[in-house]
């Protein structure tokens, strides 16, 4: 029994040795194939170097169009009835122009009463002055007691005080009557109306809104880093709903950032707003002047997972080379080209055509340079 098992093992030994030899041979062939594949270019590409150009530096931001100053208009009288509303929304007005007229009949009566009181005070003053003069003469002639004389003289002063009080009441009545007409405090345009004839209003009621001088401004929202680059007078380019360009100038820059959004505002005057209206939300481009920049063809930039890359030419062997994936920061798009802000040196060669099919470390065949 043991003799048969030993003979079987001896017979299997040559087969095991052959299998091991075949396995070793196959392993060597795979290494050779891998080596061959690894040395074969993954793609044929063209390469070139970035071009240095002087480009306009800009910052793009979003913001809202708003009035430069919006004035809320109302009355300074209590429980008065509106007689007439003389303007409507969108109407341009001049400083001092009547906008709303109140029912002023009661106020006119108060004014007439104040005038009558002034007339009474004037008559009383004339009499008091005559009595005072008589008291002085009688006192000099010792025909009246000193106390009676002083009483007559003091009556002059009381009558003068009463006259001044009546004049103050007259001025108050005139002022109240003037309040019965709401006038434009400055040139501008009516932006809102919330009053109609017959309505009874009070001082806390907002009746009209007016955009002072009809001026609009754009309030752009920028990050802290971008806000620091903006100066007063910086030009802003916007587009109105018709597509026409609207030019503005930065009037002021916010001195602080919003603690929640970490952004700040720039305020740009819009001298000619075109078809822009208060309340619109539009994108603006702030011009920072010209500066040198590196420009590459758009097809040389590959975007993956929201990040932009170029493939720089690394170690070269003849017409073959290894490529290195480099992250770059892109700037303005210029037709078929794009500006780079950072990530690439001016003397570096990069893949122009074929970049979208490459991975970091790929071997490529270079067929043409400078394209």
Would you state the pLDDT for residue 134?
Answer: 83
- 98-122 pLDDT, tens digit per residue, is 999 999 999 999 999 999 999 999 9
Would you state the pLDDT for residue 11?
Answer: 40
CATH 2.40.420.20 residue ranges of the chain are: 43-55+292-369
Q: What is the spatial distance between Cα 321 and Cα 313, in angstroms, rounded to a whole number?
A: 6
Fold for 104-178, please state it: Helix Hairpins (1.10.287)
Would you state the pLDDT for residue 38?
Answer: 57
Would you state the pLDDT for residue 175?
Answer: 93
Q: What is the spatial distance between Cα 296 and Cα 47, in angstroms, rounded to a whole number?
A: 11
Would you state the pLDDT for residue 70?
Answer: 93
Residue of 99, 97, 96, 58 whose CA lies nearest to 82:
99
CATH 3.30.70.1060 fits 60-68+214-291, yes or no: no
CATH 2.40.30.170 residue ranges of the chain are: 60-68+214-291
This model's pTM is above 0.75: no
Taking 70 as the pLDDT cut, the residues of the chain under it are 1-38, 369-371
Under DSSP, the state recorded for 275 is T
Q: Do residues 342 and 326 touch, judged by C-beta distance below 8 A?
A: no
CATH architecture observed for domain 43-55+292-369: Beta Barrel (2.40)
**CA-CA distances (angstroms) from residue 109 to 118, 173, 176, 180?**
14, 9, 11, 13
Q: What is the spatial distance between Cα 321 and Cα 364, in angstroms, rounded to a whole number?
A: 6
Under DSSP, the state recorded for 371 is -
Residue of 289, 353, 355 whose CA lies nearest to 328:
355
Please, what is the end-to-end C-alpha distance for the chain in angstroms?
Answer: 82
- 142-169 pLDDT, tens digit per residue, is 788 888 888 888 888 898 999 999 999 9
79-103+180-213 has which CATH code?
A: 2.40.50.100
CATH 1.10.287.470 residue ranges of the chain are: 104-178
């Amino acid at each position: 029994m043991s003799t048969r098992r030993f003979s079987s093992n001896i017979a299997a030994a040559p087969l095991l040795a052959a299998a091991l030899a075949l396995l070793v041979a196959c392993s060597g062939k795979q290494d050779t194939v891998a080596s061959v594949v690894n040395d074969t270019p993954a793609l044929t590409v063209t390469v070139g170097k970035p071009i240095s150009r002087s480009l306009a530096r800009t910052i793009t931001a979003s913001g809202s169009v708003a009035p430069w100053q919006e004035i809320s208009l109302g009355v300074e009288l209590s429980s008065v009835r509106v007689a007439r509303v003389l303007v409507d929304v969108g109407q341009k007005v001049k400083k001092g122009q009547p906008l709303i007229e109140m029912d002023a009949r009661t106020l006119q009566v108060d004014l007439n009463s104040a005038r009558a009181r002034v007339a009474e005070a004037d008559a009383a003053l004339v009499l008091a002055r005559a009595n005072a003069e008589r008291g002085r003469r009688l006192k000099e002639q010792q025909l009246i007691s000193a106390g009676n004389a002083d009483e007559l003289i003091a009556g002059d002063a009381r009558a003068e005080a009463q006259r001044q009080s009546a004049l103050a009441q007259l001025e108050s009545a005139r002022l109240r009557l003037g309040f019965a007409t709401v006038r434009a405090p400055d040139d501008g345009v009516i932006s809102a109306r919330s009053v109609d004839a017959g309505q009874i209003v009070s001082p806390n009621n907002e009746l009209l809104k007016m955009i002072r001088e009809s001026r609009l401004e754009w309030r752009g929202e920028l990050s802290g880093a971008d806000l620091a680059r903006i100066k007063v007078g910086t030009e802003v380019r916007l587009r109105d709903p018709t597509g026409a360009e609207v030019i503005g100038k930065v009037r002021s820059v916010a001195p602080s950032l919003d603690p929640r959004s970490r952004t700040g505002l720039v305020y740009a005057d819009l001298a000619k707003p075109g078809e822009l209206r208060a309340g619109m939300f539009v994108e603006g481009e702030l011009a920072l002047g010209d500066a040198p920049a590196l420009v590459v063809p758009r097809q040389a930039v590959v975007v993956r997972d929201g990040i932009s890359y170029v493939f720089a030419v690394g170690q070269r062997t003849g017409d073959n080379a290894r490529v290195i994936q480099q992250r770059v920061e892109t700037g303005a798009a210029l037709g078929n080209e794009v500006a780079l802000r950072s990530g690439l040196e001016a003397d570096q060669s990069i893949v122009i055509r074929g970049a979208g099919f490459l991975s970091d470390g790929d071997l490529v065949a270079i067929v043409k340079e400078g394209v």
